[in-house]
């Protein structure tokens, strides 16, 4: 079987499975199988696949047809123009979260604390874009921190990683300059309709009680006691949660400064 024949069949099977990105996914799977670019496979359609290559491509295709996210199959995902290692221990980085990096570049904080870092994509991207800032990244999962450390190493950047349940492991925020806390915490309520692909992601990084706001509200409460006047809090939440979240944040001393898609920016007014 040649490249074109495999791609045609794969796209057809993926489309029948209801996968909107059928063509892209087929290209990515075969390109990874052959250790080549998408451009290569599209320009070498007559190239015959070896038995080993065909077996590998079919194995990955079967996983994708089962709705396993392609990021987990291939083991990496792009975020803010860089490639990050991912595994089922961490949430797959989403493009919507890139707005957090844009906000950080506007704020230019001295210290950034990334809560629930997962793959480390936010903390590492922030450090790469703002090399003079100090970045601390925490997660309750040691498995997630292992992935984050690998990403920091592969991108040759220094970030301080620590196991912590939200802010509980951070005793004092000592910077004399303004501090910004960022967090893409679990905010999906289990009653919501979600993609079947989310069943492969760690539930503790995706779902939360109290209409999805349990952990976010817990962080807001902790932050209001640890942060100082003028410090910033950047959170990701579903748009339907923004009203309730902002009301809760304001009750604890935060002023809403900006909304960018799913991202909300607050300033503490102590």
CA-CA distance, 33 to 24, in Å (whole number)?
A: 14
- pLDDT of res. 194: 86
Angle at 269 between CA 267 and CA 270, to 5 degrees: 135
Domain with CATH 3.40.50.150 in the chain: 87-268
- Say which CATH class 3-66 falls into: mainly alpha
3-state DSSP call for residue 188? strand
Q: What is the pLDDT of residues 65-116, one digit of tens each?
A: 999 999 999 999 999 999 999 999 999 999 999 999 999 999 999 999 999 9
Domain with CATH 1.10.8.10 in the chain: 3-66
- pLDDT of res. 16: 95
140 to 1, 85, 89, 187: CA distances (angstroms): 47, 19, 12, 16
Q: Which CATH superfamily is domain 87-268 in?
A: Vaccinia Virus protein VP39 (3.40.50.150)
Q: Please, what is the angle between helix 22-34 and helix 3-16, to 10°? A: 140
Q: Is 209 exposed, middle or buried (0-12, 13-18, 19+ CB in 10 A)?
A: exposed
pTM exceeds 0.75, yes or no: yes
Q: What is the pLDDT of residues 128-172, one digit of tens each?
A: 999 999 999 999 999 999 999 999 999 999 999 999 999 988 766
Q: What is the dihedral of CA 210, 147, 108, 182, to 10 degrees?
A: 10
Q: What is the pLDDT of residues 22-59, one digit of tens each?
A: 999 999 999 999 999 999 999 999 999 999 999 999 99
CA-CA distance, 222 to 167, in Å (whole number)?
A: 7
């Amino acid at each position: 079987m040649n490249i074109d024949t495999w791609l045609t069949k794969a796209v057809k099977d993926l489309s029948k499975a209801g996968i909107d990105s059928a063509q892209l996914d087929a290209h990515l799977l075969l390109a990874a199988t052959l250790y080549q670019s998408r451009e290569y496979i599209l320009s070498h359609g007559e190239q015959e696949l070896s038995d080993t290559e065909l077996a590998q491509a079919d194995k990955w295709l079967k996983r994708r047809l089962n709705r396993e996210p392609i990021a987990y199959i291939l083991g990496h995902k792009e975020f803010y123009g860089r490639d990050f290692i991912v595994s089922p221990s961490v949430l797959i980085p989403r493009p919507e979260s890139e707005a957090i990096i844009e906000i950080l570049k506007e704020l230019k904080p001295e210290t950034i604390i990334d809560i629930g870092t997962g793959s480390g994509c936010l903390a590492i991207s922030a450090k790469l874009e703002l090399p003079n800032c100090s970045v601390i990244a925490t997660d309750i999962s040691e498995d997630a921190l292992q992935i984050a450390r690998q990403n920091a190493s592969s991108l040759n950047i220094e970030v301080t990683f620590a196991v912590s349940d939200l802010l509980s492991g951070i005793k004092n925020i000592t910077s004399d300059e303004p501090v910004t806390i960022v967090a893409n915490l679990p905010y999906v309520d289990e009653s919501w309709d979600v993609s079947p692909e989310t069943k492969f992601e760690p539930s503790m990084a995706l779902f939360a009680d109290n209409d999805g706001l349990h952990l976010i509200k817990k962080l807001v409460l902790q932050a209001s006691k640890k942060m100082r006047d003028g410090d910033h809090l950047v959170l990701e939440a579903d748009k339907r949660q923004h009203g309730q979240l902002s009301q809760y944040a304001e009750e604890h001393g935060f002023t809403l400064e900006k909304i960018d898609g799913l991202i909300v920016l607050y300033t503490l007014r102590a």
